[in-house]
Structures are given as structure tokens and as C-alpha cells.
Structure 1
């Protein structure tokens, strides 16, 4: 398993930063699973200076971002068949106020991960959750330190899908209805929320009780409303099926939600691909 790895300066500038908290929590799992990282220059240097992942042969230094390191990760997510360089996904711990987080290569990294159904992991909580998910799929015992990520009965789940992805969201929720129903609360934007409620009622959910608490549609501010829940630590997981092929008129609202998630990087797990979300559900049931 091989991932790209990058972190904005905020996330490795002190010992409590998100990159280091992720590595401390997951180093054993990284070694157990033999996860390799192609780490962009400054991120690699920070890991080496902190003496983390010492002796891990899977950690490889790539050029600094300004020298094309992040661009190379984008190409490897797509796949470089002649060189047999293919990444299984990318961890990019984003500082939402760092201008480099919206450089073309940063946006392309996420877009290509979504297009190719690979994990794009932008928060420390998501990275922690992903390693635990892969440990479970490998048949390893649950890490009790990750239990807080699976305390569904006390958590809120956001379910959001762009127009072209609404059928995929409905299919996903129907297949995983029992697991998703364990959450204390589910929230969604207008049309998606209504369709999910109709699905739940057809499956026997009480007709006088919404399965999803509906906020406004995305263009009318629903993404902003859910972003506020995230910032108040009242939403712990977001499943956001994005259509990477269509320009959205309310792009700013979508970015607002994404920035909220990365602002509380230690608190919120975010998944943007149906394939990745399904793999999480399968692991959650096993766990």
C-alpha cells in the first residue's frame, strides 16, 4: 500500500501538530500494514527531524512543493505505468488559510483521487480512521485508542451529494442502512435529505420521524449550515459524494464546508468517494 503524503506548515510546526499526532497514533499500524509514503520535501524533513518512522523503508522523500513534489503525487495517483509508479491514495493535511492549499496541484490531487475512487485524506482524524479501517480489513485486532471515532450513538453524520451523485448516495445508504442508522443523528442538504428520508420510510423507519434532518439545499446555503455544525464540533463525520466533472455555481459554499472540516482537523472524518465510503462501512461492520 502506497500513499502520497503532504502537510501544510501548520501541521508540523510543533510536536502537537496534526502530522505528528497522526504518526504517533498510527505508527504501529503503519508498520504492521507496511504502508509506504511518498512524502513531499518539507513534510519528509519534518518527520525526519522529529525522528518518527525511523528505519521505515517505505518513507521516500519527494521534492519540495515549489519544486514539483505535489505535482508528482498527482501524476502518481493517476498512474505512471511506464515507471510502475501508482499511488493508492493521498494524505494531504490541509491548513485552510495557507494559500498553497488552493494551488492547482493541491486541487488536482483531490480531484484525481475522487475520479479514480482513491482516498483523499485531508484531516488528521480521517488519516487516523483510514489506518484503523485498513487494520480491520487486514484481520488485525481493533485499536482501542480509535474507539472514539466509532462511537456512533453519540455522533452526527453528514450525508451530502451533488446532483449527479445522488443515485450513488441513495444506493450507498440503502446498502448500509443498518450501520448508518446507528448514528445519533444524520444531517443532509435539501434534495438529498428528502430522498434519503423517503428511502428510510420505505424501509420501515417511523413515518413521523425523519431519518435525516434536512438543511437548505446547497445553493441556498445548506453547505454553510452544515459547516457551522462542523465548526461547533456537532458533526463528527461527513460523507460528501462530489462530482468532479461539473463546475458548480455554489462552489464557494462547497469550499466553505471543506475548509470547516480541515479547520477542526483532529475532530472530523471526511470521505468523498463512494468506493472509500463503502470500504469504511465494511470495516466498521467487522469492527
Structure 2
């Protein structure tokens, strides 16, 4: 497996940065899975400067972002004809107040991951959750250090979808109804929330009890309301099916929710591609039937 790797300056300028914390937590698991990285210049430099991933042959340096490194990752998410130049996804730890996080190449990296159904991991929690998901699919025992990410009964999950993907969200929720029902709370916006409740009632959920707590529709501020939950630590996971092919009339509200997720990088997992969300659900079910193995990060 080959991933792009980048982090905004805040996340790699000191040993307390999110990039270094992620590698400390996940290094043994990354080595176990033999995951390769194409790392943008300063991200690579910070990894070597702070002595992380030592003697790791799967780490390759790309140019700095200002010299096209992130643009190269975008092209490799799409896929290049040369051997070893097609990425399976990207870890891009975002500082939401860093201007480079909204440069065209940064936005394109996420968009192309969405289009090609590849993981785009913008928080430490998302990257750790993805690593555990891939370990489970590889047949490895669950890692006890990831148990907190899977304590669903104590968590709130947001289920959100753009108009073109509302049917996809309904199908996804119906297919994974038992798993999603394990969460302590489910929240959604406007029409999506209502349709999810109707689906749940058709499956026998008590008719006088909402399966999803509904907030306003996105254009009327529902994304901002859920962002408030995220910032207060009251929403730990967001499944947000974004449509990359259409203009979004309430773009600022959507960006606000995305910025909230990256602000609490250690606490919130965000998944935006339906295929990746399903892969996570499949792994979560498999994991729930496993006994814990030794800690891997």
C-alpha cells in the first residue's frame, strides 16, 4: 500500500506536532503493514529531523509544496503510468488556519481522493482509524490502543450527505443499520435526517423515538450546528458524503464543518467517500468479534 503524506507547518514544527504524535502512536503498525509513503518535502524533513521512521525504506521524499510536491501527490492519486506512482490515498494533516490548506492543490488532493474512492485523512484520529481498519482487513488482531476509537456506545456520529448522494447515504445506513445503531447518538441535517429516521422506523426502530437527531438543513446552518458539537467534543465521528462534481451553494458552511473537524485533530474521525465508509463498517464488524492483540499504535 502506498500513501501520500503531508502536514501543515503547525503539525510538524515541534515534537508536540500532530504529525510526530501520529507516527509515535502508529509507527509499529505502519511497519507491520509495510505502508509506503511519498512525503512532501518539509513533512519528510521533519520526520527525519525528529528521528521518526528510522531506516524505513518505504519513505520517499518529494519536493516541497511550494515546488510542486503536493501537486505531484494529486497526480498520483489519479494514477501515473510509471511503476510505483499510483497512490492508494493520502494523509494530509491540516491546520485549518494555514492559508496553504485551501490552495488549489490542497483542495484538488481531497477532490481526487473523493472521485477515485480513496481515503483522504485530514486528522490524526482519521489516520489512526484508517490504519486499524486496514490491519483488520489484513487479518491482523485488533490493537487495544484503538479501542477508544471503537467505543461507539459512548460516541456521537454525524450522518450527512449532499443532495445527489442522499440515496447513497440511505442505502449505506440501511445496510449498516445494526452497527450505526450502536452509537450513543446519531445526528444529521434537514432532509437527510428525516429520511434516515423514516428508514429506521421501517426497520422497527420505535416510532416515537428519532433514530437521528435532526438539525437545520445545510443551507440554513445545520453544518454549523454540527460543527459546534465537534468543537465541544460532543461528536466523535462524521460520515459526510460529499459530491465533488457539483457547485455547492453553501460552500462556506461546508468548509466550516470541515475546519471544525481538523481543529480537533486528535478526537474526530471524518470519512467522505461512500466506499471507504463501507470498508470501515466491514472492518468494525470484523473487529468486534476479535480478541485484542498486542499494542501496535
Instruction: Give the TM-score of the pair, scaled to structure 1.
Output: 0.99
Aligned partner of 1:169 in structure 2 is 169
1:196 aligns with 2:196: yes
CA distance in structure 1 between the aligned counterparts of 2:84 and 2:119, rounded to whole angstroms: 19
1:277 aligns with 2:277: yes
> More displaced, 185-194 or 73-82?
73-82
CA distance in structure 1 between the aligned counterparts of 2:82 and 2:286, rounded to whole angstroms: 37
SS in 1 for 2:80: coil
CA distance in structure 1 between the aligned counterparts of 2:137 and 2:82, rounded to whole angstroms: 30
CA distance in structure 2 between the aligned counterparts of 1:84 and 1:18, rounded to whole angstroms: 27
1:21 offset after TM fit, Å? 1.1
Aligned partner of 1:15 in structure 2 is 15
Aligned partner of 2:140 in structure 1 is 140
Q: Deviations over 1:247-285 (max 9, x none)?
A: 111000000000000000000000000010001000000
Aligned partner of 1:205 in structure 2 is 205
Q: Deviations over 1:68-124 (max 9, x none)?
A: 000000000000124551000000000000000000000000000000000000000
1:175 offset after TM fit, Å? 0.6
CA distance in structure 2 between the aligned counterparts of 1:69 and 1:92, rounded to whole angstroms: 12
Aligned partner of 1:250 in structure 2 is 250
Q: Deviations over 1:138-190 (max 9, x none)?
A: 11111101111000000000000000000110111011000000000000000
Aligned partner of 1:110 in structure 2 is 110
CA distance in structure 2 between the aligned counterparts of 1:23 and 1:137, rounded to whole angstroms: 21
Q: Deviations over 1:15-50 (max 9, x none)?
A: 121111111111111011110000000000000011
Aligned CA-pair RMSD: 0.7
SS in 2 for 1:91: strand
Aligned length: 287
Aligned partner of 1:65 in structure 2 is 65
1:24 aligns with 2:24: yes
Aligned partner of 1:101 in structure 2 is 101
Aligned partner of 1:233 in structure 2 is 233
Structure 2 spans left out of the alignment, 5+ residues: 288-297
> More displaced, 133-142 or 218-227?
133-142
1:12 offset after TM fit, Å? 1.0
Aligned partner of 2:181 in structure 1 is 181
SS in 1 for 2:186: strand
Aligned partner of 2:56 in structure 1 is 56
Instruction: Give the TM-score of the pair, scaled to structure 2.
Output: 0.96
CA distance in structure 1 between the aligned counterparts of 2:279 and 2:14, rounded to whole angstroms: 33
Aligned partner of 1:265 in structure 2 is 265
